[in-house]
Chain A
Amino acid sequence: MIKHALISAALLTLPLAGYAQGSAPKGDAAAGATKVSMCIGCHAIPGYKASFPIVYSVPMISGQSAAYLAAALEQYRKGDRSHPTMRGIAGSLSDQDIADLAAYYASR
């Protein structure tokens, strides 16, 4: 009985543990500064335009809010935003990378 109760208790706490892990990690702007190599080739060049599949100016992201930037990267990773280059780059980022980059660009 005690064993069963313990297992039940453990199973009950599993979703909570999953929820805690699933919540967004805290962003570290200093760590983000070391992860910008894939961003600066486009976003740090004033006047630079995305050329595929449609030509338009690459957005300014420095000074944007961290929550928006993190949401944007998550949407690219998930496929809710479609730009091919950004989908590829966001797909290579961990949750921590996204939080760090968002914190870094929000601090610029």
Chain B
Amino acid sequence: MRLMPGKWLIAASLAVIGMGSATAADIAKGREKADQVCAACHGKDGNTPIDPAYPKLAGQHADYLVRALLDYKSDQRKNAIMSAQAKALSRADIENLSAFYASLPGKLSHKR
């Protein structure tokens, strides 16, 4: 019983953290940016890239997409096209774009 206040504090903290990450990105702004800079190659739906060597993005985890774009931006991940694209994006653009693509229905899964 004495542990209860501590437990509630942890639960409340986790809830706040959860809310924070859910509201950080703006999907509508992400869609707007995606239509301008990503759709031409990755497809408007994020599922129909114009070249099979380009990945499907629809439904992919947002935090993975953020990581990929940040790595392109810093040249940690090397690709001439994506490096140039990512360097033109702000941190907010990257968060918004990732949230947008993660929100689209896709064919990607963790299926074995």
CB of A63 within 8 Å of the partner chain? yes
Write out, one digit per residue, whether chain B residues 68-85 have a CB within 8 A of any chain A CB (1) or not (0): 000100001111000000
Q: Give the A-B contact count at a CB cut-off of 8 A.
A: 76
Determine if A63 and B109 form an interchain contact, defined as CB atoms under 8 angstroms apart: yes
In the complex, chain A residues whose CB is within 8 Å of the CB of B108: 59-64
CB of B56 within 8 Å of the partner chain? yes
| CB neighbors of A among B90-104 (8 A) | none
Determine the distance from Cα of A58 to Cα of B78 in the docked complex, in whole angstroms.
19
Interface window among A2-10, A11-19, A67-75, A88-96: A67-75
* Chain B residues bordering chain A, tally (CB within 8 A): 26
| Interfacial residues, chain B to chain A (CB-CB below 8 A) | 49, 51-56, 59-61, 63-64, 66-67, 71, 76-79, 106-112
User: Chain A interface secondary structure, helix, strand, loop or mixed?
Assistant: loop
Give me 12 A-to-B residue pairs in the complex whose CB atoms sit less than 8 angstroms apart, sorted by A's number. A44-B110, A59-B60, A59-B61, A59-B64, A60-B60, A60-B61, A64-B56, A65-B55, A66-B52, A67-B52, A68-B49, A80-B77
| CB neighbors of B among A31-88 (8 A) | 36, 40, 43-46, 48, 54, 56-68, 71, 75, 80-82
In the complex, chain A residues whose CB is within 8 Å of the CB of B55: 64-65, 68
Known A56-B63, A56-B66, A68-B55; contact A75-B78, beta-carbon cutoff 8 A: yes
Give chain B nearest CB distance to A102 CB in angstroms.
10
Give chain B nearest CB distance to A57 CB in angstroms.
4
